Structure 1
Amino acid sequence: MNSPPGRHDEDARVTSDSLTRPEVFGELYHRHAAVIHRYAARRLGQDAAEDITAETFTAAFRARGRYDVSRADARPWLYGIAANLIGKQRRAEVRALRALARTGHDPVAASWTDRSDSRVTAQAAQARLAGALAGLSRAERDVLLVVAWADLGYQEVAEALSVPVGTVRSRLNRARRKVRLALGDVDPMYARDSPEVIGHG
């Protein structure tokens, strides 16, 4: 789940250097904008993802003086900012999830799968999964989807969401239990098109 060692180990240096040379902060954008955009698109759709990504890096730039340079990888910090911004649009996210649960079709759905095989089955699974996600609390949904889509370990998720690791684990367990129940007590780790949503843990 963690990235290979050294992949992002210069993020802290870039963030620190940007305090005196603001233009170098653009390096963080080039390194991480695509994954932040993908995460936001999965949660709110492509249209909102552009704004969330821009706002995430704007907020990060403004807060760069408070960045903990002992943390080499900036991704948990950036995901945390993005999750907070998405949280401000919680009603829009829940509305989109409920639409997907009800109709099996929603603009957000396209970002959840791009496979054409077993499309009908996949849409049915997505509808049930979307309904389950809509029923989670914001805190549970944030933990579940950051773990699923951000490729971060539990400690990094805890850093991203500013909660203890134990809280990450308990929220994740609750969320998985609720999703599993909504999927008819089928282990969601093996549900078509959703293994990345539930993951291992």
Structure 2
Amino acid sequence: MIARSLTDPDAFTGIFDRHFGTIHRYLTRRAGTDAADDLASDVFVIAFDRRAAFDVTYEHALPWLYGIAGNLLNSNRRRLHRDISLLARHPRPDASAPFEDRVDATLDARREIRVLERRLRRLSQADLDTLLLYAWEDLSYPEIAEALQIPTGTVRSRLNRLRRKLREPDPDELTRTGRQQTEPGQGDGNG
């Protein structure tokens, strides 16, 4: 369709119809509902303008469109904080559980979310983009590589490193946890 659109611009409508919803959902999760409409439209305007540069050996246009969307998002680094806030949302606990269990679960979840937020905020934009294309958009490694214009091996090593990095507490978290356990009245016998 992209190749055909070079001689028949109306053929690009098929690309728009097929992929607009997916790109819009991705941008909604990354930038919020208010910005997604404009950003999604911009993605397709840019794609239409650059369609002559599209490598027609690629089987699908979607990773290319994700790449354009990512570049638009990266032009405004302030969106990083909004990304992390959207990631940190947690569903409400089951209302059928006893009140005390719901409170404990909520407090535990909030603590875990804060830890995850701190860890995600420390990620570079490239790492966050890779993680979100994998986790949110369910793209394959080759599709992520195409979207970000990096080698597939880089995607593999980046995701492997991110898995380890997000599981391991950093020294600040260990210090905070140790301090919380030894504060007065926290079981040190000084009550």
For the aligned pair, the TM-score class normalised by the smaller chain equals: 0.7 to 0.9
Query: Structure 1 residues 129, 36: closer, same or farther in 2, change over 3 A?
Result: farther
Query: For 1:38 and 1:32, how far apart are their aligned partners in 2?
Result: 10
- For residue 43 of structure 2, what is the aligned residue in structure 1? 56
> 1:83 aligned to 2:66?
no
- Matched residue count: 161
Structure 1 residue corresponding to 2:22, chosen from 2, 25, 35: 35
Deviation, structure 1 residue 116: 4.5
Q: Is the 8 A contact 1:52 1:82 kept in 2?
A: yes
Q: TM-score, normalised by structure 2?
A: 0.73
Structure 2 unpaired stretches of 5+? 95-104, 174-191
Query: Structure 1 residues 181, 42: closer, same or farther in 2, change over 3 A?
Result: farther
- For residue 137 of structure 1, what is the aligned residue in structure 2? 124
Deviation, structure 1 residue 123: 5.5
Q: Is the 8 A contact 1:16 1:65 kept in 2?
A: yes
Query: Structure 1 residues 177, 109: closer, same or farther in 2, change over 3 A?
Result: closer
Amino acid at match of 1:136: L
Deviation, structure 1 residue 169: 1.3
Structure 1 unpaired stretches of 5+? 1-13, 101-107, 185-201
Q: TM-score, normalised by structure 1?
A: 0.70
Query: For 1:56 and 1:164, how far apart are their aligned partners in 2?
Result: 23
Deviating above 3 A after TM superposition, structure 1's stretches of 4 or more consecutive aligned residues are 115-128
- Deviations 1:139-191 (Å, cap 9, x if unpaired)? 1111111111222211111111110111111211222222222598xxxxxxx
Query: Structure 1 residues 15, 124: closer, same or farther in 2, change over 3 A?
Result: farther
Query: Structure 1 residues 126, 53: closer, same or farther in 2, change over 3 A?
Result: farther
Structure 2 residue corresponding to 1:67, chosen from 54, 59, 67: 54
Structure 1 residue corresponding to 2:150, chosen from 144, 149, 163: 163
- For residue 44 of structure 1, what is the aligned residue in structure 2? 31
- Bigger Rg, which one: 2
Q: What is the percent sequence identity of the aligned residues? A: 44
